[in-house]
Structure 1
Amino acid sequence: MRMLNLGVVAHVDAGKTSLTERLLFDSGAIERLGSVDDGDTTTDGMDLERRRGITIRSAVAAFTLADRRVHLIDTPGHTDFVAEVERALGVLDGAILVLSAVEGVQAHTRVLMRTLKSAGVPTILFVNKIDRVGARHRDLLQDIRRKLTPGAIALNRPVDLGTKSADVVDLDPDLELAEVLAEHSDAALESYVDGIDPALLRRELQAQARRGLVHPVLFGSAVTGVGIAALRKAIVDLLPSVDPDTSGELDGVVFAVEHDKGRSAVARLFTGSLATRDRVTFARRDRSGVLVTESGVATGVRDVDGEQARIPAGGIARITGLPGLRVGDRLGVHAADGRHRFRLPTMETVVTAESPARLFDGLSRLADQDPLIDVRRGPRHGSLVVSLYGEVQREVIAARLAEEFDVTAEFSPPRVACVERVAGTGHGLISMGETVHWATIGLRVEPGEAAAFRLEAERGSLPAAFLTAIEDTVNATLQEGLHGWPIQDCVVTLTHTGYCSPVSVAADFRDLTPLVLTKALRQAGTVVCEPLEEIELEVPEESLTMVLSTLTKHDGLPRTPLLGNGTAVIEAVLPTARLREFQRLLPGLTGGEGVLTAHFGGYKALWNQ
C-alpha cells in the first residue's frame, strides 16, 4: 500500500483541527466525531490544547484512503509555534491549507502559503465554513488567486452559501482550467486553442498538482461534512505518494518527541528502514554550529498505529530506547548534514520558581519536546533561561509547568537574545603551582567561521579524561561569554598542558579551564551583537509612504520597493528587537492588507569591551 504523509496547516481558527477530525471519522479511523468546542478531538491530546481550542504540538494520526495509507500531521496555527509547522514541512509529501470562507485570506495564511511553496510541498486549498453566515465564494476565489497563488483551480462551487443547508457542486473541466494548466503544458495549450479535451485536462491537473505547479481549491464544511468526499478524492488523485521501500541505507529526520506512553521520538524515513534492535546513528548541530553525533540501539520501533514493525522508507516511526534522540536530529547516512532546518527563536526570558529542582525537571521535559526553547543556567542562583518566539508560547510554557509539573513559575519580561563575538586574538596560561589546581592549561582564542576546539599540544601529552574535561568546560564557558551572552564563531586552541600523576584529577582541569579561558577572552575582547531580521513586506501601493516611514523609525533599512498591480513589495533589514512592535503597527498602516515574512538575517555589533 502506497504511503502519503499529509500535513494540515492553517491560520488559527480556520477549522484545521475540525477538518482533521472529519477526515479521521469519515475514513473509519475513529468511531466518534470530536469537537474543538467540546475539547474532545483526537489530535489535540493535551488538556491545554483542548481548553484553549488551539493546536500546540504537531500530532500524527493514520487512516486508509483508497490504496493509500495516509499519515495525517496536524500542525499548530498560531505564529508563536511556527517552528512546529516548519519542522513538519520537511517530512511531508503533500499538504492541505485550510482557509475560512468567512475570514478569507488572512495574513498568516499568506505566510503559510509562501512557506509551502518555498518548501516545494504540493498543496490543496480547502475553503472551510461555507455554512457560516458571511461565507464568500467568487470574491474569495479572486483573493486566493491574487494573494496566495495564481495557479488556484476551483474544482467545485458552493450553493446556498452561508446557510445550514450549504452544499457544493463539482465543476467539469472548462476553458478556465485549460488556461491555467496551459501555463505549464503545451498539450493543455492545444486543448485551450483547439477545443476542450476533458480527459487530457484531468491528466494534466493531476501531474501539475503533484508537482506543486497548480493548487486545487475545494469548498466545504468540516462540521457538516459537505465537500469532504471531494477532498478525499483529491488527496488520492492530486497529491504524490510513495511506495514503501526497505532497500538502501537509513536516512530520516525526527520531527516530534512524545511522552504519552513513555518517551518516543517520531521520525519520517526517507530511505532504508528501521526496526526494533537496529543500531541507529544520529546527529545534530548545536546552537554554536558544533556537530554532535550519537548512536544507540532502538529498543522499540512502532508504526503510527502503535504496532511493532519494520518501518520502510516513506513511513513514520515511533522510536523508543534512545534518550539522546531529539527533535531535528538526522538519522543514518546523512547524519553529518544535521543542521537547523527552521528559524531559531530570538527572544529569551529568565524563569524562576520556589523549587529550582522541579523547575529544571519540568523545563527539561518541555525542551525534550521542543529543543529550541534551549534551557540553560540563568544569571541568578536557581534561575533558568529559555528561548521564545512570542508571548503565547510563554503563556503555554507557564501553564504546562503548573499543570504537568506542579511548578508555579515567574517569567521576566522577554528580551532579545544577543551573542558575543571575539574581536581579536588572546592567550591565557596558568601553570601548576600558581593556583591550588594540579594542572597547567594554556588556551588561545581567535575569531573563526564556526565554533571549534583544536589541539596545538600533543594529544598524548594529557590523559583522555583530562582532555575531555577541558573541552567540555570550554564549550560551557563560551555559552556565558564575558557579558552574559553566548560566544559564537570562536576558535579555541589548547596550547599548553601539564599534570602530576597520580595527584591530578579531572576536576582540576574543569575548575581551572574557566579561569584560563576568561583570561584569554579578556585579552581578545568580545563584541556584543544583536540579531537582525531579513523581512519582505507586501503592502497596498497607497500605504507605501507610511510603511516606509514607520519602518525607518524602527531602525529598518529598506531597499528600493517593487511596484505592480497596486501592490508594493519591500525588502528590508530590521533589528529583531523592533520586529514585534512593527508587526503590531502593520495592520493599521495597511488596512489589514500588509503581509510580512521574516527570517534570520545575521547579527549587528552593538558595543564591545
Structure 2
Amino acid sequence: MHDAILNPGTTLNLGVLAHIDAGKTSLTERLLLDNGAISELGSVDAGSTQTDTGEIERERGITIRSAVAPFAVRGGDGPQINLVDTPGHPDFIAEVERALSVLDGAVLVLSAVEGVQAQTRVLLRSLRRLRLPTLLFVNKIDRTGARSDSLLADIRARLTPDILALSAVRDAGTAAARTAVRTLEQPEFRMAAAEALAEHDDALLARLVAGELPPADDVRARLTRQCGAGLLHPVFFGSALTGEGIAALTDGITTLLRPQRTTPEAPAAAPRGTVFAVERTGAGEKVAYLRLFSGEVRERQRITYWQREPGGKQTEFSGRITGLDVVTAPVVSVPGVPGAPRAHGAAGGKPGRRLTAGSIGRVRGLPGIRVGDRVGAPGDRPEQYHFSPPSLETVVRAGGPGQEARLHAALLALADEDPLIRTRAAGGGATSVLLYGAVQQEVLAARLERDFGLEVVFEPVRPVYFERPAGRGEAVTEIDPHGANDFLATVGLRVEPAPRGAGVIFARETEWGVLPRAFHRAIEESALRTLQQGLYGWEVTDCTVTLTRTGYVAPLTVAAHFRQLTPLVLMRALKRAGSRVFEPCQTLEAEIPGDALNAVVGCLVPLGAEITGSTEAGPSWLVTAELPVRRVQEFQRALPGLTRGEGAVWSRPGQDRPVRGPVPNRPRTDGNPLNREEYMRFLADRSLADRSLADRGLDD
C-alpha cells in the first residue's frame, strides 16, 4: 500500500522488543529466513536461533544479551536491516536501555493470546518518550485463544489509543488464521485512517469536519510522517512460526521507518558513535559493538572515546582500532533464494576497512572500552535513563579459598558488558553487585562458572538505598608543622545539595595553577570514590562538592597525601551538612474486580504504599499507587488471593522518597573516614599489606 522509501544501500537499525514469550526471537528468525539471511528457521525451544548464541540463552530459551542480525530486504534488492534482538525478561531491562540509544525504529511484539502485558506497557512508554518510530506486531494469531478486534480495543485502552491496524485477521485462534492487508484505496479504511491521523493533525481534522475525504496519497504521506515522529503506531497481525503476515510487516518496515540519526555531512564530520554492547572472543579479546552516527572510522585509526563515571564525571581515553568488521547482510547469490548461515554468528559482517555513519561495526583493539562509551566528543549532559536502575544489591563470595582476586577480576570483566551491576569491594574478599532480580543472579552465577571457572555464593539480596545532603557543610585540614596533620597537604571542601538527577558535581574555587594537575586529579577522584559510601554507608548523589582550599610542601608532598586526606575532610563536611536516606519506589497500576477494592487497598497501605488514584472502569477498578521497591513482590504475591486470581498489576519506575522509620545502615568498606583513628589504622594496615606483597614480588 506504500511506495518504497528505503532504497538499496540504505541501512536501518531496527529494535525488536517484547514482553517475555511474546515471540520476538521467533519473529527475528522469520524475518531473516524470509529475506534469505538464513536457510532454515531456528527454534527457541531447540536452542538453534541465530541471535541467542550463548549456551545459557539456548538452555533457558530466553534472550539475555542484545544481538545484531542483519539481512537485506528481498534477498538483496532492498535496504539492509540490522535487527537488534533485545531481552524480554525484566531482569535484563538494562540491555534494552542500551539498545534504544542506537535504534532508528522499533517493532514491539505482542501475543494475540496474552495481549498487553506488564513489560509491553513499560517498553512502549519508553519508546514514545523517545519519539522512536514504532510498529506493533501482534504475533501468534494461529494459537488457541488468539484475538483480533477485542485485542485492538485492549491496546487502545491499556497501551495507547494512537494505533492504526493495517491488516485484518480471519479465523483467529485456528491453524487456518490468515491476514488481509487493508489499503488506503478502500474509502472506508481511508476514512478510518484519516480519523486516527486527525488526532495529531488539526488541518486534517478541519478537512474531515468539512466533509472532505483526502486522497489516498495525501493520507499515505501523513501516515508516514506521523509514524516517523512516533505519534501513531501502525499495527500488523501475523504468525512468526507460519510466516503469515510477515510480508506486510516487512513492507511496513521499509516504507514507514527510515534512518533518522545519521548526519548527512559524513564522512567529512568527526566520528561520533555509541558502544551499545561488548562481548569477548574465545581468546578473551574484547569486541565492542559501535553504532556510528556521523563521520567514519577505519581500521588502524586512533580514536577518542569517553566514559562517564557514576557521579557524572567524563574521562577521555584513546586507542587504535586493530580490527573492524562491518555488520553486513549475507550475500545471496540468487535473489529470493535463502543463503547459507554465516559461520561467524548472528552479528554477521565481513572484515571491513571502513565503518560509515548509520552502520554498526564490531571493533577490536580497545581493551578499556565499556558499554555506554561515546566515540568522539563527550556528551554535554548526563545519560537519560528510561528505566529504573537496579534496586537490589547482593554480595558475591568465592566458593573456594584463594579465589577472591579472580572473582573480583571476573566481575569487573562482566561489568564491562553491563555497567549497571556496579561492582564494589565488600570486605573479606567479597564483591558487591547490583541486580534487577533472581533470574539475573542465576545467569550471573552460571556465567562465572562457565566463563571463568568460579563457583560462587550469593548472600541474600537487599534493597538499594541512597543518600542526599540535607544541607550545607564545610571542613578543612591545614598542613600542620607540628605534626598534628599526618599528611603533607591542605584540603578544604564544601558539600551542598544539587538538583535532583544531577549526580555528583565537583567544582573548584581554587585556581588550577595552585596545585600540580596530578594533585587536583587525586582530590577529585578520591572525593567521587568516597561518596560511594555516605554517612549511613549508602551512595551519595545529587550533591555538589567544591574544593575551597589547597596547599602542599614541595618537593615532599605526593598525590597519595591528597588521595588519603580527602576522605577525612569530605566526610567531616558531609556530617556537618547531614544526609537523608532515600529509597526507590515503583508506580503500580492494579486492575481488580469491583468487590476486591477494599481488600487490595487494605493490603497496600500497611506495605507503605501511597494510593494515588482509584478509577471505576465498568465492573473493574484501576488502582494506582506508589510502593517502595522492596515491598512490590509482597504485593504481587498477595494479589491473586485478594482477587480470586482475576487481578493484574503493572509497574514502572516511580519517584524515590525518604525512608520512613529506622534508617538502614550498610557496613562500610572504606576504612571509615568518619572515625579518624579507625581510618588511620586502616591506612596503616593497607600499607603493611602492600609492602608485604612487594617483598614477595606479588605487587603486580
The answer, yes or no, to whether TM exceeds 0.5 is yes
Q: Is the 8 A contact 1:87 1:341 kept in 2?
A: no
Aligned residue number for residue 285 of structure 1: 308
C-alpha change, 1:195 and 1:359, in structure 2 (3 Å) is: same
RMSD: 3.2
Structure 1 CA distance for aligned equivalents of residues 263 and 574 of structure 2: 53
Q: Is the 8 A contact 2:493 2:569 kept in 1?
A: no
The C-alpha deviation readout for 1:144-185, integer Å capped at 9, x for no partner, is 233223233333333444344433333344424522432434
Map 1:200-215 onto structure 2 (within 5 A): 200-215=218-233
Structure 1 letter corresponding to 2:658:
K
- 420-429 or 342-351, which deviates more: 420-429
Aligned residue number for residue 497 of structure 1: 551
SS of the residue aligned with 2:584? strand
Structure 2 letter corresponding to 1:601:
Q
1:390 aligns with 2:441: no
SS of the residue aligned with 1:73? strand
1:470 aligns with 2:562: no
Structure 1 letter corresponding to 2:99:
A
Offset, 1:392? 1.3
Offset, 1:198? 4.7
Offset, 1:351? 1.0
Structure 1 letter corresponding to 2:526:
T
Structure 2 CA distance for aligned equivalents of residues 143 and 454 of structure 1: 51
Offset, 1:366? 1.1
Aligned residue number for residue 477 of structure 2: 429
Q: Is the 8 A contact 2:110 2:120 kept in 1?
A: yes
Aligned residue number for residue 351 of structure 1: 396
- 7-16 or 178-187, which deviates more: 178-187
Offset, 1:204? 4.1
Map 1:175-574 onto structure 2 (within 5 A): 175-185=188-198, 190=208, 193=211, 197-241=215-259, 245=264, 246=266, 247-260=268-281, 262-304=285-327, 305-333=349-377, 335-342=379-386, 343-353=388-398, 354=400, 355-378=403-426, 380-423=427-470, 424-429=472-477, 431=479, 434=483, 437=486, 439-449=488-498, 450-455=503-508, 459-488=512-541, 489-493=543-547, 495-499=549-553, 501=555, 503-522=556-575, 524=576, 526-533=578-585, 535=587, 537=589, 539=591, 542=594, 545-561=598-614, 572-574=625-627
SS of the residue aligned with 1:57? coil
The C-alpha deviation readout for 1:334-380, integer Å capped at 9, x for no partner, is 533352434321221111113111211211111100000011111x2
C-alpha change, 1:505 and 1:108, in structure 2 (3 Å) is: closer
SS of the residue aligned with 1:468? helix
Map 1:31-50 onto structure 2 (within 5 A): 31-50=39-58
Structure 1 CA distance for aligned equivalents of residues 27 and 36 of structure 2: 14
Structure 2 CA distance for aligned equivalents of residues 149 and 340 of structure 1: 23
Structure 2 CA distance for aligned equivalents of residues 253 and 538 of structure 1: 37
Q: Which runs of 5+ in 1 are unaligned?
A: none
Structure 2 letter corresponding to 1:233:
D
Q: Is the 8 A contact 2:504 2:528 kept in 1?
A: no
Offset, 1:438? 5.4
1:133 aligns with 2:144: yes
Q: Is the 8 A contact 2:166 2:235 kept in 1?
A: yes
SS of the residue aligned with 1:403? helix
Map 1:102-113 onto structure 2 (within 5 A): 102-113=113-124
Structure 2 CA distance for aligned equivalents of residues 208 and 517 of structure 1: 52
Offset, 1:273? 2.7
Map 1:63-74 onto structure 2 (within 5 A): 63-65=71-73, 66-74=77-85
> Which of 7, 16, 20 does residue 8 from structure 1 map onto?
16
C-alpha change, 1:43 and 1:453, in structure 2 (3 Å) is: same
Structure 1 CA distance for aligned equivalents of residues 124 and 294 of structure 2: 28
Offset, 1:409? 1.3
C-alpha change, 1:223 and 1:260, in structure 2 (3 Å) is: farther
C-alpha change, 1:311 and 1:577, in structure 2 (3 Å) is: same
Structure 2 CA distance for aligned equivalents of residues 59 and 196 of structure 1: 42
Q: Is the 8 A contact 2:586 2:655 kept in 1?
A: yes
SS of the residue aligned with 1:143? helix
Aligned residue number for residue 123 of structure 1: 134
C-alpha change, 1:499 and 1:14, in structure 2 (3 Å) is: same
SS of the residue aligned with 1:31? coil
Structure 1 CA distance for aligned equivalents of residues 55 and 622 of structure 2: 42
Aligned residue number for residue 62 of structure 1: 70
- 18-27 or 189-198, which deviates more: 189-198
Offset, 1:439? 1.4
C-alpha change, 1:274 and 1:589, in structure 2 (3 Å) is: farther
Q: Is the 8 A contact 1:482 1:521 kept in 2?
A: yes
Q: Is the 8 A contact 2:496 2:577 kept in 1?
A: no
The C-alpha deviation readout for 1:366-423, integer Å capped at 9, x for no partner, is 1100000011111x22011111111211111111111111111111121122223344
Structure 1 CA distance for aligned equivalents of residues 30 and 374 of structure 2: 33
SS of the residue aligned with 2:197? coil
Offset, 1:469? 3.1
C-alpha change, 1:26 and 1:426, in structure 2 (3 Å) is: same
Offset, 1:555? 1.6
The C-alpha deviation readout for 1:553-604, integer Å capped at 9, x for no partner, is 2222233556667776666443332233334445666665645342252442
Structure 2 letter corresponding to 1:529:
V
**Residues paired across the two proteins, number:** 606
Q: Is the 8 A contact 2:467 2:579 kept in 1?
A: yes
Offset, 1:55? 0.4
- 222-231 or 319-328, which deviates more: 319-328
C-alpha change, 1:434 and 1:35, in structure 2 (3 Å) is: same
Structure 2 CA distance for aligned equivalents of residues 203 and 494 of structure 1: 60
Structure 2 letter corresponding to 1:598:
R
Structure 2 CA distance for aligned equivalents of residues 198 and 336 of structure 1: 43
SS of the residue aligned with 1:335? coil
Structure 1 CA distance for aligned equivalents of residues 217 and 528 of structure 2: 63
Structure 2 CA distance for aligned equivalents of residues 309 and 260 of structure 1: 20
- 311-320 or 226-235, which deviates more: 311-320
SS of the residue aligned with 2:477? strand
Q: Is the 8 A contact 1:443 1:520 kept in 2?
A: no
Structure 2 CA distance for aligned equivalents of residues 569 and 576 of structure 1: 20
Structure 2 CA distance for aligned equivalents of residues 390 and 562 of structure 1: 31
- 16-25 or 253-262, which deviates more: 253-262
Structure 2 letter corresponding to 1:348:
E
The C-alpha deviation readout for 1:123-156, integer Å capped at 9, x for no partner, is 2222222232332233223222332232333333
Structure 2 CA distance for aligned equivalents of residues 409 and 86 of structure 1: 28
Structure 1 CA distance for aligned equivalents of residues 159 and 150 of structure 2: 13
Structure 1 CA distance for aligned equivalents of residues 377 and 424 of structure 2: 31
C-alpha change, 1:582 and 1:430, in structure 2 (3 Å) is: farther
Offset, 1:272? 2.8
Offset, 1:527? 2.5
Q: Which runs of 5+ in 2 are unaligned?
A: 1-8, 328-348, 665-673, 675-700
The C-alpha deviation readout for 1:190-235, integer Å capped at 9, x for no partner, is 5995568555544444343333333222222211222222221121
SS of the residue aligned with 1:184? helix
Structure 1 letter corresponding to 2:409:
D
Structure 2 CA distance for aligned equivalents of residues 326 and 159 of structure 1: 48
C-alpha change, 1:192 and 1:500, in structure 2 (3 Å) is: same
Q: Percent identity between the aligned chains?
A: 42
SS of the residue aligned with 2:534? coil
